[in-house]
């Protein structure tokens, strides 16, 4: 589990929790994530006008979203796998306009921003109404509206009221782009899918020991020498494009530059500031406790070299300028003592009575304002390897491993294991309560959670399938929870809805993996573990 430091000491908690009605897959109200409150007394629907429009106040980031959603609503014509059982009136006048009203257009996209919205679609009248506190809440409402529309010609449920807001302010995806490189278009497609699932933070693990793919203006040699090649570098203009795309989709872009560990790639430009770079990670005859790294790819920044801080401060300053996000992730995980012990200058420091703890303290005090961190208080974003690591269960990536030499039945628990086995099924993710076992006061310190995709065995060819629809499972639990109005886990009820949502994502260009045969969704209940659930 990774712990994050927040610049915010106060969490705004929603205290109104509205029960959600039980809506079958045959309902026309199939929105993912499920809204907090839906009122739809009668199963009525009517058509959208062929000239349907969206009336919205101007906002520089909302305007492109309105244009995007208008095109989607007019042209998607999604056909549900099971035709909704509704009374669709051909005689009722078509819906002409969605009118958007926003209370405060000046609020920036930042942690804790109000994403509340309400949506009203009457049985009569030319207009539907979307009301939001902020432009970011309006984006969430636009996504909901788009999911309500189906068919050709397009229809929408009426006599409908939705009130919606997230349970948790932070709902993220972490992607590692160091171990394998992802094109800008892969990142943009991921952000677009996140927005559709109301996931609002793209945590970008940009660098690691394996490559340094970010062009830092004041330290250009880091990428020039530390990347996989000139065609595998994110330029400042690439970053600007990704940040802008995030703003237009209501997704924050949170950068991570991992240090002092996981910095072997820095040694290609500055070998003098990196300990144990380019050494074999687990030398023969060495105990695990004395390893140089936890996986292939060695290197730790040397806290005793003053040039370390000059380079690192330049990197942090430039990254802060490239990204408007108020959070910055400094890594600081997996400090491996064996790596520092392998460096001659650090060996001398230790032989003179210094400790590894003092080394780490020196590094942290030289790169962070400790007083500000303490004053801010410690808050948590959950990224549990037991529930949220999406790369798990795919075997190990080490070559030349004698573990696999003996022929077995394939059922040996040692066969094909990764360190974070097993595979995290969507049901496992959906049923995870991130505040389980916490007191009310402790739960208030949990900002939210994020799924994590490390890229030892992932690249653009498998990106969508590894992320989706499992990330959708997390998205719903952090938005509206995983329990019904009676307090029961609703993963069984969610299966058919997630099936439908997965097919809709695929129709929108996201290659989400299937969770069941198509036959199951066309024969509701027949693929359940029990006929009574």
Positions marked active-site: 334
Encode 335-360 in three state secondary structure: CCHHHHHCCHHHHHHHHCCCCHHHHH
Q: Tell the residue number behind the tokens 């491993």, with chain if given.
A: 401
Q: For residue 155, what are its two tokens?
A: 């229809």
Asked if 156 contacts 121 with a C-beta cutoff of 8 angstroms, the reply is: yes
Q: For residue 220, what are its two tokens?
A: 């250009």
DSSP labels, 94-132: PEEEEEEEES-TT--S-TT----EEEEE-SSSSEEEEEE
Give CA–CA dist 520/77, Å, rounded: 23
Choose among 252, 255, 206, 256: nearest CA to 232: 206
Q: For residue 167, what are its two tokens?
A: 């349970």
CA 282 to the chain's CA centroid: 32
Three-state secondary-structure class, residue 310: helix
Give CA–CA dist 513/3, Å, rounded: 30
Beta-bridged to residue 260, according to DSSP, are: none
Q: Give the list of residues 6+ apart from residue 276 with CB closer than 8 angstroms, or none.
A: 292, 293, 298, 299, 300, 338, 339, 340, 342, 343
Whole-number Cα distances in Å, 417 to 291, 369, 408, 422: 20, 41, 14, 8
Q: Give the list of residues 6+ apart from residue 453 with CB closer than 8 angstroms, or none.
A: 173, 174, 175, 176, 390, 391, 463, 466, 467
Choose among 503, 390, 405: nearest CA to 457: 390
The total of other beta-carbon atoms located within 10 Å of residue 324's CB is: 14
Give CA–CA dist 365/499, Å, rounded: 49
Q: For residue 254, what are its two tokens?
A: 């949170």
Burial class (CB within 10 angstroms; exposed 0-12, middle 13-18, buried 19+) of 38: buried
Three-state secondary-structure class, residue 481: coil
The total of other beta-carbon atoms located within 10 Å of residue 502's CB is: 22
Give CA–CA dist 56/138, Å, rounded: 10
């Amino acid at each position: 589990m990774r712990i994050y430091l927040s610049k915010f000491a106060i969490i705004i908690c929603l205290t109104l929790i509205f029960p959600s009605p039980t809506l079958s897959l045959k309902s026309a109200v199939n929105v993912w994530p499920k809204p907090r409150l839906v009122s739809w007394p009668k199963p009525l629907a009517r058509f959208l006008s062929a000239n349907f429009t969206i009336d919205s106040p101007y906002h520089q980031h909302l305007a492109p979203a309105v244009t995007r959603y208008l095109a989607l609503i007019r042209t998607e014509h999604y056909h549900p796998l099971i035709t909704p059982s509704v009374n669709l009136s051909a005689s009722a006048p078509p819906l002409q306009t969605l009118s958007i009203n926003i209370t405060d257009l000046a609020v920036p996209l930042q942690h804790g921003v109000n994403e509340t919205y309400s949506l009203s679609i009457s049985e009569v009248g030319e207009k539907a109404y979307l009301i939001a506190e902020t432009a970011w809440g309006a984006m969430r409402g636009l996504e909901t509206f788009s999911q309500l529309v189906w068919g050709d010609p397009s229809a929408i449920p009426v006599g409908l009221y939705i009130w919606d807001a997230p349970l948790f302010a932070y709902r993220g995806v972490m992607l590692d782009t160091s171990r394998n490189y992802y094109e800008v278009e892969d990142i943009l497609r991921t952000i677009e899918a996140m927005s559709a699932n109301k996931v609002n933070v793209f945590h970008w693990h940009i660098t690691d020991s394996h490559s340094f793919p970010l062009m830092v203006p004041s330290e250009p040699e880091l990428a020039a020498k530390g990347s996989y090649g000139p065609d595998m570098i994110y330029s400042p203009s690439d970053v600007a494009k990704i940040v802008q795309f995030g703003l237009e989709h209501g997704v924050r872009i949170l950068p991570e530059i991992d240090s002092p560990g996981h910095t072997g790639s820095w040694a290609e430009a500055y070998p003098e500031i990196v300990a144990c770079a380019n050494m074999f990670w687990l030398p023969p005859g060495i105990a695990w406790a004395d390893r140089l790294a936890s996986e292939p790819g060695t290197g730790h920044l040397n806290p005793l070299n003053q040039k370390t801080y000059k380079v690192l401060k330049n990197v942090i300053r430039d990254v802060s300028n490239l990204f408007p996000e108020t959070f910055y992730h400094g890594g600081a995980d997996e400090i491996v003592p064996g790596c520092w012990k392998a460096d001659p200058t650090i060996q001398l420091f230790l032989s003179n009575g210094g400790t590894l703890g003092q080394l780490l303290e020196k590094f942290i005090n030289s790169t962070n304002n400790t007083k500000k961190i303490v004053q801010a208080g410690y808050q948590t974003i959950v990224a549990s390897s037991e529930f949220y690591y999406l790369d798990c269960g795919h075997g190990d990536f080490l070559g030349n491993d004698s573990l696999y030499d003996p022929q077995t039945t394939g059922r040996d628990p040692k066969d094909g294991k990764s360190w974070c086995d097993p595979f995290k099924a969507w049901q496992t993710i959906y049923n995870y309560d991130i505040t389980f076992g916490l007191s009310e006061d402790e739960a208030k310190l949990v900002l939210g959670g994020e799924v994590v995709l490390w890229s030892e065995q992932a690249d653009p060819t498998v990106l969508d399938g590894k992320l989706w629809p499992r990330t959708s499972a997390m998205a719903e639990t952090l938005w509206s929870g995983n329990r019904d109005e009676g307090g029961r886990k609703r993963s069984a009820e969610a299966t058919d809805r997630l099936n439908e949502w997965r097919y809709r994502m695929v129709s929108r260009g996201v290659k989400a993996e299937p969770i069941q045969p198509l036959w199951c969704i066309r024969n509701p209940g027949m693929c359940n573990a029990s006929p009574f659930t």
